[in-house]
Amino acid sequence: MTRRQKWSAMMSDLEKFRLETRAWLEENCPKEMRDGAVGEEFICWGGRNWKFKSEAQKTWLERMAAKGWTVPAWPKEYGGGGLSKDEVKILKEEMRRLRARSPLESFGIWMLGPALLKYGTHEQKAHFLPPIARGEIRWCQGYSEPNAGSDLASLQCKCEDKGDHWLINGQKIWTSYADHSDWIFVLVRTDPKAAKHLGISFILVDMTTPGVSTKPIKLISGKSPFCETFFDDVKTPKEHAPGISAIVGELNRGWDVAKYLLTHEREMIGAGGGGLLGGRSPGEIAAQAIGVEEDGRLADPMLRAKVAQTEIDGWAFLLTMERLKDEAKAGQGIGAKSSMLKYYGTEFNKRRFEVMMDIGGSDELEWEGARTEDGKLVKGWLRTKANSIEGGTSEVQLNIIAKRILELPDA
């Protein structure tokens, strides 16, 4: 076959896949799940204690999970769809076309899954991944500690080898939704004498193990998405089932896994800044809220300039995400550039919400009541303040860019 023939054969395969996908979604996506809703309250997180918001939410999860399409890119043997990058893209496009909700979101999908796929053994993958794909087990992430935030590698949560089990003592903080989760992946110190990056391990713990407890933290937004998580003499078996080690990757090399996952998390949080650009633009909202002059210009020229600046930077950032994606597809990994996405995306998101608050004026300061949907914007504004802290502060990202990309020397 010539290159052109191969190309057109591939294209027709993809077109076929698109048509089949479209037909399947039309057939199987319940009507109630086609409203394009993306807010926190519409997400299906799954897990042992999950209460479905509707029968449709349950059906949608079950049908998609049976297809492997809750995690379309994962291998089929681990509960995924085994789709190629191009096929995943088509599936997403077709879901968007239908305004279909995502069937399942979770830290298992975003974080633990990628870590296991890269660092886990076949047995670990076969044991832990399918329940994530089916939405049966909900995971949370135990990274930060009260004295290990930006300097994460200084973490102290102790994990001792007691022969047939590990003994864990310590505290984690900023554990997202720990109070709703079934299992936790934790960074623990397994070698207190080694250099700080070299004595850390990545361990999997069942939250129902005696000694594990959680306490939600109330934030300035009034919400409690984060918890403190305590480990008091927690005995975790060396093997959760025969041949299924509790440790992911090598003992004392958990920092490699953590770093890999942080890169993932940064891309995700950074991308959030762009994702929020969807819907009505701040300019449109401002034009409606404040009014325009005869020539069509916003009646508040100083605010108008700020809005325009924000839109220009937001647009440039979106294009940069697109370019990095295309570069990654063409085989150039994005590496430390994930720190750029994290830094710029989160700082941009904060700026964008500041401008939205400027536009809203006192009307948007109402914390309760139908007029503001119980302070939807103002609570969102408060939430964004965490964007440039969680997953590594902006300052840490700038350090990474300076060292890894610009190769500026250490102090």
Partner 1 sequence: MPLILTEEQEMLRESARGFLEEKAPVAALRKLRDSNDATGFSRDLWKEMAEMGWAGIIVEEEFGGSDFGFVGAGVLAEEMGRTLTASPFLSTSILAATALKKFANAGQRGEYLPKIASGDLVMALAVDEHGKHGPAKTAMKAEKSGNGFKLSGAKTFVADGHVADKFIVAARSGGAPGEEAGITLFLVDAKAKGSSIERTSMVDSRNAARVTLENVEVTGDDVIGEVDNGYMALEGVLSAGRAGLAAELSGASQQAFAMTTNYLKERKQFGKVIGTFQALQHRAAHLYCEIELMQSVVLKALQDLDDNFGMASVTCALAKAKAGEVAKLAALEAVQMHGGIGMTDEYDIGLYLKRIRVAQEMFGDFAFHADRIARLRGY
Q: How far is the CB of 236 from partner 1 (least distance, A)?
A: 39
Rounded to an integer, what distance in angstroms lies between the CA atom of residue 64 and that of residue 102? Answer: 10
| Minimum CB–partner distance for residue 277 and partner 1 (Å) | 12
For the bound state, the minimum distance from the C-beta of residue 11 to partner 1, rounded and expressed in Å, comes to: 15
Instruction: List CB contacts of 123: < 8 A, sequence separation 6 or more.
Output: 243, 244, 245
For the purposes of burial, counting CB atoms within 10 Å of the CB of 346, is it exposed (0-12), middle (13-18) or buried (19 or more)? buried
Residue 376-405 contact track with partner 1, rule CB under 8 A, x = bound: -------------------x-xxx-xxx-x
Max CA separation in the chain (angstroms) = 79
In the region spanning residues 322 to 361, those forming contacts with partner 1, defined by CB under 8 A, are 322-323, 326-327, 329-330, 337, 340, 343-344
Q: Which of 313, 354, 366, 390 binds partner 1 (CB under 8 A)?
A: 313
- Locate all alpha helices (DSSP H) within 160-300, ordered by sequence: 254-275, 282-290
Integer Cα distance of 88 and 96 in angstroms? 12
- With binding defined as CB under 8 A, does residue 406 bind partner 1? yes
Look at the block and give the residue holding tokens 């959030």. Answer: 272
Q: Is 281 a residue that touches partner 1 (CB under 8 A)?
A: yes
312 is a contact residue toward partner 1 (CB under 8 A): yes
Bridge pairing between strands 226-237 and 139-142: unpaired
Cβ contact 97:32 at 8 Å: no
Q: How many whole angstroms separate alpha carbon 195 and alpha carbon 199?
A: 7
Name which of residues 60 to 89 contact partner 1 (CB under 8 A): none
Q: Smallest distance from the beta carbon of 270 to partner 1, in angstroms?
A: 11
Between 3 and 31, CB nearer to partner 1: 3
Asked whether position 302 contacts partner 1 by CB under 8 A, the answer is no
Q: What is the DSSP letter of 404?
A: I
Q: Are 98 and 34 in contact (CB under 8 A)?
A: yes
Size of the site for partner 1 (CB under 8 A): 46
Per CB under 8 A, residues contacting partner 1 are: 281, 283-284, 286-287, 292, 296-298, 304-305, 307-309, 311-313, 315-317, 319-320, 322-323, 326-327, 329-330, 337, 340, 343-344, 395, 397-399, 401-403, 405-411
